[in-house]
Amino acid sequence: MGEGPQRSSSWMGIPLRHLSVILLATQYTGFALLLHYSRVMPTVAGKRYLTSTAVFLNEVTKLAISLTIALYEVSKNAPPSVPATSLFFTLSSAVFSGDSWKLAIPALLYTLANSLQYIALSNLEVATFQVTNQLKLLTTALFGLALLGTSIPPRKWAILLFLVVGVALVQLPNGDVEELSYKDDAHLYFPRSLEEWKRMGGTAAHIHKRSATYEGIQEDEMSQLPRLDATIGLLATIGACISSGLAGTYLGKVLKDSSNPTSLWVRNVQLACYSIFPSLFIGVVFLDGEKVANNGFFEGYNWAVWATIIVQALGGIAAAFAIANADKIPRNAAASLSIVLSTLASVLFFNFQVTGTFVVGALIVLGATYIYGNPAPVSNKKTLRPPPIRIDNYEKDIDGDNETSVSPPRNDFSIKLPTTPLLNQTGMSTSRPTSPNPRSTSGSYFSKQDRDS
């Protein structure tokens, strides 16, 4: 009906809108669970992997996936005889031309956010992280107000306030569960030699001698039995929300101001290319260069680490699918569903203790997330006013001789005014042969001579 061909809105009977919610919720939940498990699981040969290497490999995986799909899009519009080198040249021209350099800033911010997520999930339970991570709605709104000048109605300000209250309730410490520190354990028993640690068995058997002091033994024990620090986890989550909110807002501004239409997958290639440099040179080389040189790049890697990297990289595909087939409402619904699934999985696999304050805070955050992504309700009150009354208009034809009526629209209720008695549309008969038209110039149906008589 004048809107162009409609795309298929379902896949195997499942609406794409619902499929977007399922894919995003699965990716959010799977990534958080795998990342947390990879940080608290038993170490591999007494070593735990470096988060900087995982962030770098995540960017490499995203680049490989985005580059493959972007090349496929370019090949669809090219003749079959075009060589592969020409396809790569065409794609590279699209990636590194125009305003692509502006994506270096959001790429750096996204890399920082990914690194902070590893720190956050190393110190927070999965359910607590998922609820606290919804603060990115607040940071995105604030950066949109500051950078883009978008207005925030009072209704959304109230929703964001409830969101902060819910996160604060979730972060309240649980008085029933108290984690013991090394100072608290010292009065019980503390081995005085490496041989005593070895005889204890269990995780102590993986400890290796690195110095003649207790610092090396304590660091080894911390790697075997990591302790969760809620304060560090909260600060890392807030930092990740600020970084991702600023990156998303700045990226939206760049795409809005850009005059060159660019494919979504080309943009993903650009972001991945610019993200590799900070993740490699700042994370791997500058921060962990000595550890990588001594123990190797893949220190502490196992199936859980590789699964975390792959699932995080696949999140870009799920997000692109949601952008292409839905809007931000399914993404908020996916975040809400992910909170529920993460809470259930934390209880089953990580012995997470659900408290009353957590339930209340999580429910507030769930409600705020869902309402924030939906438009304001519109009143459905139906007016009882009758349809407008239209009076038939009469217009002269071009020649000015005949009169034709203008028909009202079908949906309008029209009323014709009754005609004057003794008056016919074609003319009025009279006994006076010299007056075929009874209507005079004065607007009366009778002439002045008849009125005088």
Q: Of 372, 391, 415, which residue sits at a domain end?
A: 372
Q: Of 349, 372, 395, which residue sits at a domain end?
A: 372
Strands 14-15 and 10-11: antiparallel
Strands 389-391 and 413-415: parallel
- Does 384 reside within a domain? no
- Does 1 reside within a domain? no
The Cα 378–Cα 109 span in angstroms is 38
pLDDT tens figures, 182-196: 334 434 444 555 555
DSSP H/E element including 414:
strand 413-415
The Cα 312–Cα 273 span in angstroms is 17
The Cα 118–Cα 195 span in angstroms is 34
- Does 311 reside within a domain? yes
The Cα 35–Cα 41 span in angstroms is 10
- Reply yes or no on whether the pLDDT at 12 is more than 70: no
Q: Are residues 199 and 343 in the same domain?
A: no
Q: Of 372, 397, 419, which residue sits at a domain end?
A: 372
Tokens in use for 269?
């290639």
Q: Are residues 170 and 76 in the same domain?
A: yes
- Reply yes or no on whether the pLDDT at 198 is more than 80: no
Q: Are residues 256 and 318 in the same domain?
A: yes
Closest CA to 31 of 439, 447, 383, 315: 315
Q: Are residues 368 and 307 in the same domain?
A: yes
CB 432 within 8 A of CB 440: no
Domain that holds residue 202: 180-226
Q: Which residue has the higher pLDDT, 390 or 431?
A: 390
Q: Are residues 287 and 353 in the same domain?
A: yes
Q: Are residues 202 and 296 in the same domain?
A: no
pLDDT tens figures, 72-104: 888 887 787 788 788 888 888 888 877 788 899
Residue 171: C-alpha distances to residues 143, 213, 230, 274, 372 (Å)? 24, 37, 8, 35, 21
- Reply yes or no on whether the pLDDT at 178 is more than 60: no
- Reply yes or no on whether the pLDDT at 436 is more than 70: no
Q: Are residues 173 and 212 in the same domain?
A: no
Q: Are residues 190 and 306 in the same domain?
A: no
pLDDT score at 264: 80
Question: Residue 33: left (phi > 0), alpha (psi -120 to 50), or beta?
Answer: alpha
Q: Are residues 57 and 68 in the same domain?
A: yes
Amino acid residing at 408 = P
pLDDT tens figures, 346-402: 999 999 999 999 999 999 999 999 888 776 665 555 445 555 555 544 444 444 444
DSSP H/E element including 120:
helix 104-121
Q: Are residues 146 and 291 in the same domain?
A: yes
DSSP H/E element including 393:
strand 393-396
pLDDT tens figures, 100-110: 888 999 999 99
- Does 48 reside within a domain? yes
Q: Which residue has the higher pLDDT, 319 or 102?
A: 102
What average pLDDT does range 324-340 have in this prediction? 75
Q: Are residues 202 and 271 in the same domain?
A: no
Please count the other Cβ atoms lying within 10 Å of the Cβ belonging to residue 117: 25
- Does 382 reside within a domain? no
pLDDT score at 187: 42
Q: Are residues 290 and 168 in the same domain?
A: yes
Number of domains, the chain: 2
CB 451 within 8 A of CB 444: yes
- Does 76 reside within a domain? yes
CB 207 within 8 A of CB 197: yes
Q: Which residues does 89 contact at the CB level (< 8 Å), separation at least 6?
A: none
Tokens in use for 374?
């939906």
CB 163 within 8 A of CB 369: yes
- Does 431 reside within a domain? no
- Reply yes or no on whether the pLDDT at 125 is more than 50: yes
The Cα 31–Cα 27 span in angstroms is 6
What average pLDDT does range 215-236 have in this prediction? 73
- Reply yes or no on whether the pLDDT at 216 is more than 70: no
- Reply yes or no on whether the pLDDT at 40 is more than 80: yes
Model pTM? Answer: 0.72
- Reply yes or no on whether the pLDDT at 56 is more than 80: yes
Q: Which residues are paired to 393 by β-bridges? A: 406
For the chain, give the percent of residues with pLDDT over 90.
Answer: 40
Q: Which residue has the higher pLDDT, 235 or 226?
A: 235
- Does 405 reside within a domain? no
